[in-house]
Amino acid sequence: MKRFIVDAHLDLAMNAIEWNRDLAMPLEQIRLRERNMKDKPDRGKGTVCLPELRRGRIGLVVATQLARVNPFNSALTGWNSPAQAWAMTQAQLAWYREMEKQGEMVQVIDRKGLDAHLDLWNDTSKPDEEKPVGYLLSLEGADSLVTPDYLYEAHAYGLRALGLSHFGPGRYADGTKTSGKIHPNGLELLKIMSELNMILDVTHLTEEGFDQALNQYDGPIWASHHNVRKIVPNQRQLSDEQIKRLIDRGAVIGGMLDCWAMDIRFIDTVSDPWQLDIRLEMLIDHWDHICQIAGNSEHIGIGSDLDGIFGTEQSPWDMDSIADLQKFDYLLSKRGYKEEDIDNIFSGNWLRFLRSAL
């Protein structure tokens, strides 16, 4: 029987609303609909849909809302006002709600709901193909919160995790490829998060922002989709010192499958995963490194980021769909990981974290 998997970072609603992908459809049909589309480099190359999640026994995901605010004269894409960005996150929320109505998904907001969902997936009398995919809602980048007080409304509809920043300049904190501290309104947001006992996602924070967050935030912290800077030396990945600090806080770090985060040779829209021989197994090098620092396998998991503005053109060549995460069972075993370690990575570490945090 396939192992149960938790994937801690998927931009499902962004794909559904902005890419116009019907994620309830089979993957081959989604790809066929896009075969003549040229507006995005990943058209016809998606790897994620609800049937593939079920086929891969990925029964619980951390699913995002994501809408950046575009600074004036910025080359980055985004919305021109916080109100527009908020409206986009509400459209994304409406899609999740519709998936719930159709029995495709179910939201997890507390420990009771988590345990009930796991009981459902552990029930072998019902085939996995008929089970809803559970999701815990996360906001990737806080730009869309018009003011910090909007977080109360978001928490009320089930938001349980939040990252302050994304790429470039942000309204609450600057992110990947920038420098600088968390902004004053970001510190105010951290206080509300602490009050609500929300999960802080440190992914995409600057060096200074990371240090500030760990020094000032007293609630649960994770790194939903991060790899290792020792192997891929750029600011987006975690340094050994950052990894040590996260381990000390009881965090879990999700390994991501974007090729440029796995192999420093890969260049977006230029490189080819097959030519560079970027395989799923290369992520294990990143996990190994974290395990050596931790002395155990209790701080790593999957945060694939699959279809996060990329598809098979920027994924390991031996992976056609997200269901291929199951290949890690054999690959980890071949590398000497024990059954308990593999269970930790596939779901155990995230579930232990969530039972404590929710």
Instruction: Give the list of residues 6+ apart from residue 73 with CB closer than 8 angstroms, or none.
Output: none
Q: Can you spell out the DSSP letters for 296-346?
A: SSTTEEE---TTSS--GGGS-TT-SSGGGGGGHHHHHHHTT--HHHHHIII
Tokens standing for 80? 């021109």
Question: Residue for token digits 């995460």?
Answer: 325
Tokens standing for 141? 């980048």
pLDDT digits (tens, 9 = 90+) for 166-175: 998 999 999 9
Please count the CA atoms within 13 angstroms of the CA of 254 that sit on its side-chain side.
29
Which one, of 110, 10, 14, 101, lies nearest residue 56 by Cα? Answer: 10
DSSP-derived letter for residue 146 is S
Question: Residue for token digits 């987006």?
Answer: 236
> Cβ distance 140 to 64 under 8 Å?
yes
Strand pairing class (159-163; 199-201): parallel
**Residue 192 confidence (pLDDT):** 98
Domains of the chain in start order, with CATH, are 5-357 (3.20.20.140)
Q: Please report, as a single letter, which amino acid is at residue 51.
A: P
Cα(166)–Cα(33) distance, rounded to whole angstroms? 30
pTM over 0.85: yes
First to last CA, the chain: 29
Cβ burial, residue 113 (10 Å; 0-12/13-18/19+): middle
Q: Classify 60 in phi/psi space as left (phi over 0), alpha (psi -120 to 50) or beta.
A: beta
**Residue 139 confidence (pLDDT):** 98
Tokens standing for 110? 């507390």
Which one, of 118, 65, 57, 62, lies nearest residue 304 by Cα? Answer: 62
pLDDT of the chain, 358 residues: tens digit per residue: 899 999 999 999 999 999 999 999 999 999 999 999 999 999 999 999 999 999 999 999 999 999 999 888 777 789 999 999 999 999 999 999 999 999 999 999 999 999 999 999 999 999 999 999 999 999 999 999 999 999 999 999 999 999 999 998 999 999 998 899 999 999 999 999 999 999 999 999 999 999 999 999 999 999 999 999 999 999 999 999 999 999 999 999 999 999 999 999 999 889 999 999 999 999 999 999 999 999 999 999 999 999 999 999 999 999 999 999 999 999 999 999 999 999 999 999 999 999 999 9
